[in-house]
């Protein structure tokens, strides 16, 4: 979610070179929601607290606390789901903690979730289990979908996914039989070349089982700053322009983060020569990161807005460090839209700072790009920006933009807070500047430091839709074309002797930037390659020995951890490590450097619909590295 200041900076830069972590993460969800519901931000979230049956695909909330599903104490909520007699099923090639506690764990071959989900759809159709429920009247394309999933029979899908045919059938029947059910797919299922299809197919199963938008199913959250919507809109457009280096189309005006290195190094019109990085460490977090690291070194100019001198910011000509999170007020505009209850929470800045806030850094950078200079008049700039943003609320409570702004002014209000106040007061829950006296505003949130619980999610169809006709086409044209690609993939031969590399997360880590905090990295080495003992035997690897892992783009040596939790033929390595590059000032992190998994991920392996990178199911070879043969020879003598 871009803040108004980041958006204005991007606009002032006037560039199509826009990249973010979205294309190494959840862009598939935006694209599938855009195509289905007309709004890339209308993302259904599982109703964790009320569901009877939860199917989780490629997510490990016991470590991650969940993602694109905002739920304080996600694991506790799963435990309560089981306690009330519910079921949760995990699909993951690794028997994670989440999987270990599950009612049922299925360990597929990585990269086959879209195939599996369409296999479930196939069973629902062929066994007459489709029950659309309340959304039936809004849906188009069901017959076309039924035809499209015909090739995905449980038998064919079993051979692609490595799962039992009977398990696939059973899972579909269980989903259909559950009083309420929700399917939830995340990183493991979406960071691959069929990512958008996997995301779309999650919604498809929720729709076919009558669980979209019903309590206990997958619902649209309505946090304190949002309106219910009109039920129609301009719809979603995709691929309005294409990348000159990869041919991939834009998604939400973004280009694939994986293509940044080529954009910098390949000469020609539109070559990327200068970069502003805000809160990103792509040298560790994006594919073929060695290549990107070298490419950053070739830029004419680079700015990093980041508190750390890390692997990426070390490449910058100038680093502008923002003050820490406790020195700014906070209301989460993005992640509350994905919360499992309707909520609103604002917290004030707690620690005073004399340094410019991040919003001011971005505002001054924007003024530089606007030709006003970094020392331009900040007040005028922010007043104009906020006034522009408030335009769309003109008329709320019968007030003009000027009147709205006057009502939000206050001695300790940052510009972002003033805008937020207008959003909250104009929302479904807001006081509408007096029209709705029981409604909320920023002052009422301030008086409630623990935040407001506005209740469980409520059905939002059809209002949440932004499609031009106010309907849902379950098989939008770009998806239909991509299903053909998936159908062809059913017949693709998988090479022998190859391992598939997947990632994992750990509770005490957060991508790349928690490794310089001693208390979070102490203890045993966590940056290990998980190898199944049977594969270890075959390869001559034991716990603690070194494996050499080689992919299409890179190679690295890493310590082995044997584990029967991982599916044979699959190896797992966490990301965000590899802190041994010169020129950083990360003392603790460099002493616990680990290796960078993204040395192995391929910048050219992309999901064509979303531009999302393939970060899981990477084909690799694994071999033992003989690190120290000399002592053995001595012993023989």
Ligand X SMILES: Nc1nc2c(c(=O)[nH]1)N[C@H]1C(S)=C(S)[C@@H](COP(=O)(O)OP(=O)(O)OC[C@H]3O[C@@H](n4cnc5c(=O)[nH]c(N)nc54)[C@H](O)[C@@H]3O)O[C@H]1N2
From residue 110 to residue 149, the character string flagging contacts with ligand X as x (rule: CB under 6 A) and all else as - is xx-x------------------------------------
Minimum gap (Å) between residue 494 Cβ and Mo ion: 28
Closest listed residue to residue 65, CA positions, set 75, 51, 56, 53: 75
From the list Mo ion, ligand X, none, partner contacted by residue 360 (C-beta under 5 to 8 A by kind): none
Minimum gap (Å) between residue 112 Cβ and ligand X: 7
Asked if residue 279 binds ligand X (CB under 6 A), the reply is yes
Which of positions 509-568 make contact with ligand X (CB under 6 A)? 509-513
From residue 22 to residue 51, the character string flagging contacts with Mo ion as x (rule: CB under 5 A) and all else as - is ---x--------------------------
From the list ligand X, Mo ion, none, partner contacted by residue 615 (C-beta under 5 to 8 A by kind): ligand X
* Backbone φ, ψ for residue 155 (5° rounding): -65, -50
Stretch binding Mo ion (CB under 5 A), from 18-26, 237-245, 436-444, 595-603: 18-26
Between 433 and 513, name the residue whose CB sits nearer to Mo ion: 513
Minimum gap (Å) between residue 394 Cβ and ligand X: 32
Residues facing residue 125 across a β-bridge: none
Alpha-carbon distance 560 to 541, whole Å?
7
Asked if residue 356 binds ligand X (CB under 6 A), the reply is no
Minimum gap (Å) between residue 173 Cβ and Mo ion: 33
Token pair belonging to 63 = 């470590």
**Helix intervals (H) in 311-357:** none
**Residue of 41, 52, 63, 561 that binds ligand X (CB under 6 A):** 63
Alpha-carbon distance 473 to 116, whole Å?
21
**Residue of 4, 44, 162, 188 that binds ligand X (CB under 6 A):** 188
Which of positions 615-634 make contact with ligand X (CB under 6 A)? 615-617
Asked if residue 189 binds ligand X (CB under 6 A), the reply is yes
What is the enclosing helix (H) or strand (E) of 631?
Answer: helix 630-636
CB 214 within 8 A of CB 133: yes
Alpha-carbon distance 372 to 217, whole Å?
51
Minimum gap (Å) between residue 287 Cβ and Mo ion: 14
Between 3 and 126, name the residue whose CB sits nearer to ligand X: 3
**Residue of 13, 18, 21, 387 that binds ligand X (CB under 6 A):** 21
What angle separates helix 378-390 from helix 358-369, to the nearest 10 degrees? 90
Alpha-carbon distance 262 to 245, whole Å?
6
Q: Helix or strand or coil: residue 341? A: strand
Between 281 and 473, name the residue whose CB sits nearer to ligand X: 281
Residues facing residue 219 across a β-bridge: 45
From the list ligand X, Mo ion, none, partner contacted by residue 281 (C-beta under 5 to 8 A by kind): ligand X
Between 64 and 516, name the residue whose CB sits nearer to Mo ion: 64
Tracing tokens 């031969």 back to the chain, one arrives at: 493
Between 289 and 366, name the residue whose CB sits nearer to Mo ion: 289
Between 329 and 444, name the residue whose CB sits nearer to ligand X: 329
Asked if residue 51 binds ligand X (CB under 6 A), the reply is no
Q: What does each C-alpha distance from 513 to 267, 284, 304, 455 come to in angstroms?
A: 32, 10, 15, 34
From residue 64 to residue 103, the character string flagging contacts with ligand X as x (rule: CB under 6 A) and all else as - is xx-x-----------------------xxxx-x-------
Binders of ligand X: how many residues, by CB under 6 A? 57
Asked if residue 63 binds Mo ion (CB under 5 A), the reply is no
Token pair belonging to 326 = 């406790």
Between 42 and 57, name the residue whose CB sits nearer to ligand X: 57
Give the residue closest to ligand X by C-beta: 188
Closest listed residue to residue 187, CA positions, set 91, 313, 99, 326: 91
Which of positions 196-235 make contact with Mo ion (CB under 5 A)? none
Between 25 and 360, name the residue whose CB sits nearer to Mo ion: 25
Q: Helix or strand or coil: residue 334? A: coil
Alpha-carbon distance 202 to 607, whole Å?
17
Minimum gap (Å) between residue 59 Cβ and Mo ion: 12
The three-point CA angle 292-282-304 to 5° equals: 100
Q: Helix or strand or coil: residue 255? A: coil
Between 69 and 464, name the residue whose CB sits nearer to ligand X: 69
Binders of Mo ion: how many residues, by CB under 5 A? 1
Between 70 and 408, name the residue whose CB sits nearer to ligand X: 70
Alpha-carbon distance 214 to 218, whole Å?
7
The three-point CA angle 186-57-511 to 5° equals: 35
In 47-77, which positions are buried (b, 16+ CB within 10 angstroms) versus exposed (e)?
A: bbbbbbbbbbbbbbbbbbbbbbbbbeebbeb
Between 395 and 583, name the residue whose CB sits nearer to ligand X: 583
**Residue of 89, 187, 440, 595 that binds ligand X (CB under 6 A):** 187
From the list Mo ion, ligand X, none, partner contacted by residue 33 (C-beta under 5 to 8 A by kind): none
Bridge pairing between strands 318-319 and 104-106:
unpaired
Neighbours of 144 (CB within 10 A): 14
- What are the residues binding Mo ion (CB under 5 A)? 25
């Amino acid at each position: 979610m871009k803040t108004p200041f980041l958006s204005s900076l991007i606009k002032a830069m006037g560039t199509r070179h826009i990249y973010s972590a979205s294309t190494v993460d959840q862009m598939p969800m935006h694209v599938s929601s855009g195509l289905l519901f007309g709004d890339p931000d209308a993302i259904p979230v599982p109703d964790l607290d009320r569901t009877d049956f939860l199917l989780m695909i490629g997510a490990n909330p016991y470590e991650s606390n969940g993602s694109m599903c905002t739920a304080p104490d996600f694991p506790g909520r799963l435990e309560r789901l089981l306690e009330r007699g519910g079921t949760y099923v995990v699909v993951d090639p690794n028997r994670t903690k989440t999987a270990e506690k599950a009612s049922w764990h299925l360990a597929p071959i990585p990269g086959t979730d879209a195939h599996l989900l369409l296999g479930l759809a196939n069973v629902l159709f062929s066994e007459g289990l489709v029950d659309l429920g309340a959304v039936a009247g809004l849906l188009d394309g069901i017959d076309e979908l039924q035809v499209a999933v015909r090739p995905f029979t449980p038998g064919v899908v079993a051979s692609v996914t490595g799962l039992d045919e009977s398990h696939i059938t059973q899972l579909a029947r269980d989903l259909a039989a559950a009083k309420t059910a929700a399917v939830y797919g995340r990183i493991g299922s979406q960071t691959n070349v069929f990512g958008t299809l996997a995301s779309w197919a999650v919604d498809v199963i929720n729709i076919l089982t009558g669980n979209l938008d019903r309590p206990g199913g997958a619902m649209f959250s309505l946090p304190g700053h949002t309106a219910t919507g009109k039920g129609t809109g301009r719809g979603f457009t995709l691929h309005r322009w294409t990348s000159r280096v990869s041919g991939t189309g834009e998604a939400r005006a973004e280009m694939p983060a994986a293509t940044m290195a080529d954009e910098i190094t390949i000469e020609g019109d539109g070559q990327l020569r200068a970069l502003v990085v805000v809160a990103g460490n792509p040298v560790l977090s994006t594919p073929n990161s060695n290549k990107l690291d070298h490419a950053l070194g070739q830029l004419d100019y680079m700015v990093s807005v980041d508190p750390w001198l890390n692997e990426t910011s070390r490449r910058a000509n100038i680093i502008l460090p923002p003050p820490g999170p406790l020195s700014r007020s906070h209301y989460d505009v993005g992640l509350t839209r994905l919360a499992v209850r309707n909520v609103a929470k604002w917290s004030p800045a707690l620690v005073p700072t004399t340094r410019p806030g991040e919003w001011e850094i971005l505002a001054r950078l924007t003024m530089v790009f606007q030709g006003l200079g970094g020392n331009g008049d900040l007040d005028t700039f922010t007043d104009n920006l906020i006034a522009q943003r408030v335009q769309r609320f003109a008329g709320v409570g019968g007030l003009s933009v000027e009147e709205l702004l006057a009502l939000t002014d206050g001695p300790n209000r940052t510009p972002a807070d003033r805008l937020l106040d207008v959003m909250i007061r104009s929302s479904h829950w807001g006081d509408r500047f007096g029209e709705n006296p029981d409604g909320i505003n920023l002052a009422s949130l301030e008086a409630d430091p623990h935040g407001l619980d506005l209740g469980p999610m409520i059905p939002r169809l059809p209002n949440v839709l932004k499609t031009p006709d106010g309907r849902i086409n379950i098989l939008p044209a770009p998806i239909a074309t991509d299903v053909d690609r998936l159908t062809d993939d059913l017949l693709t031969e998988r090479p022998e002797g190859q391992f598939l590399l997947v990632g994992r997360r750990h509770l005490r880590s957060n991508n790349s930037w928690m490794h310089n905090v001693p208390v979070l990295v102490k203890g045993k080495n966590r940056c290990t390659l998980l190898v199944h003992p049977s594969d270890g035997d075959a390869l001559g690897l034991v716990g603690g020995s070194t494996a050499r892992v080689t992919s299409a783009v890179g190679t690295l040596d890493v310590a082995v951890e044997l584990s029967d939790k991982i599916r044979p033929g699959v190896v797992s390595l966490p990301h965000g490590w590899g802190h041994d590059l010169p020129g950083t000032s990360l003392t603790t992190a460099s002493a616990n450097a680990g290796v960078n998994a993204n040395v192995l991920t391929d910048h050219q392996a992309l999901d064509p619909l979303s531009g999302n990178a393939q970060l899981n199911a990477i084909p690799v070879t694994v071999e033992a590295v003989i690190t120290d043969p000399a002592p053995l020879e001595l012993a023989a003598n």
